Structure 1
Amino acid sequence: MEPLVDIVIEDARWEALGLDALAELAVRAAFAELGLPEVGFSLCLMGCDDARILELNGDFRGKPKPTNVLSWPSEERGVDAGEVPDLPEPGEADDPESLGDIAISYDTCALEAAEAGKPMADHVSHLIVHGLLHLLGYDHIRAADGDLMEATEVRILARLGLSDPY
């Protein structure tokens, strides 16, 4: 089976955690929950460290500080407050529709997981789902959108056997 996620590892600690397997499971669970086919889409996930994500967060969001996850959708999918975004149409198997890119920082994820007393793999799976939902047009700027996004995340994480992180 073709991988859904192209993985770019900039920090070797991600290899030890098994970022590629975590990403595949998280994305497949999200696609199943949302009714998206596993063929016809692609996305890229970069596993990096705080220094790299600080640079990206500064360049793209004007926030020169580390964060856990960043997303760059290939297409803006604006919706009315609290509305489910229109899901993209899949491309062909040999020419998949790109959903966009996600970057995730090992340092911040490890710190957050430790502070929350949860396994790193569970926290990373949640953040991959969170980043993917951003690629699909979900957001949490407005309260109604945040409620919808959180509820969607909780359902996807339940498919992975993970408890409600909220």
Structure 2
Amino acid sequence: MLVLRRAPGMGWMLPLAPGELRAVFAAMQEATGLAGCTVELDLVGDEEIARLNAAHLGCTGPTNILSFPAHDGGPHDGAHASSPDRSHGGPHDGPDEDAPCHLGWLVLSLDTWRRECQLYGQEPVEHALRLLAHGLGHLAGYDHGPEMDEFTDAALEAALETALAVLTAQA
């Protein structure tokens, strides 16, 4: 299950509607054996992701996606993750208290995602889904390397198939 939140003032910039994104993410989880697990996803701008990057990883500046696995403790307290300060509020839904597992928290910078699409000629849907698949791999315990690449590719393939089906059904 994907729990979505977006920072105040951040319009919906992704090329998939929230329901479509949840369906695509569910396909990723099914393809990688993580079906039924809760993942929280915050959609933020560069300022917020740069703050988190500095506070939790000691890195300067924005990045495209950050992953905070629940088992690492990350920036969260308690069984269900929440951002270090939820004062930013914003449209969201809460974690599923009945979910069999909670994998953790992803933070995606919509500013960086959009900039990377333009700078590197990335197709927007595919690039967003690749970032989410990569982040999911970190939540599942993978570090960079061949196993992470295989995981990301499997999740991305399932996501793209589902996205194509969803978008084709709307046409």
Q: Structure 2 length as normaliser, TM-score?
A: 0.70
Query: Contact 1:14 / 1:106 at 8 angstroms: preserved in 2?
Result: no
Change (3 A) 1:109 1:95: closer
Change (3 A) 1:148 1:113: same
Q: CA deviation at 1:22?
A: 5.2
Q: Tell me, in whole angstroms, the C-alpha distance in 2 between the residues paired with 1:154 and 1:67.
A: 21
Identity within the alignment, %: 28
> Which residue does the alignment assign to 1:124?
128
> Which residue does the alignment assign to 2:2?
5
Task: Encode CA deviations 1:49-103: one digit per residue, 9 max, x unaligned.
Answer: 0000000000000112100000100014xxxxxxxxxxxxxxx982432111010
Segments of 5+ residues of structure 1 without an aligned counterpart are: 77-91, 141-145
> Which residue does the alignment assign to 1:87?
none
Q: Tell me, in whole angstroms, the C-alpha distance in 1 between the residues paired with 2:5 and 2:149.
A: 27
> Which residue does the alignment assign to 1:59?
55
Using CA pairs under 8 Å that are at least 6 residues apart, name the structure with larger relative contact order, 1 or 2.
Answer: 2
Segments of 5+ residues of structure 2 without an aligned counterpart are: 73-95, 162-171
> Which residue does the alignment assign to 1:50?
46
In structure 2, what residue type is equivalent to 1:14? W
> Which residue does the alignment assign to 2:76?
none
Partner secondary structure for residue 13 of structure 1: coil
In structure 2, what residue type is equivalent to 1:117? G
Q: Structure 1 length as normaliser, TM-score?
A: 0.72
Which of 69, 72, 82 aligns to 1:73? It is 69
Range with greater deviation from structure 2 (111-120 or 45-54): 111-120
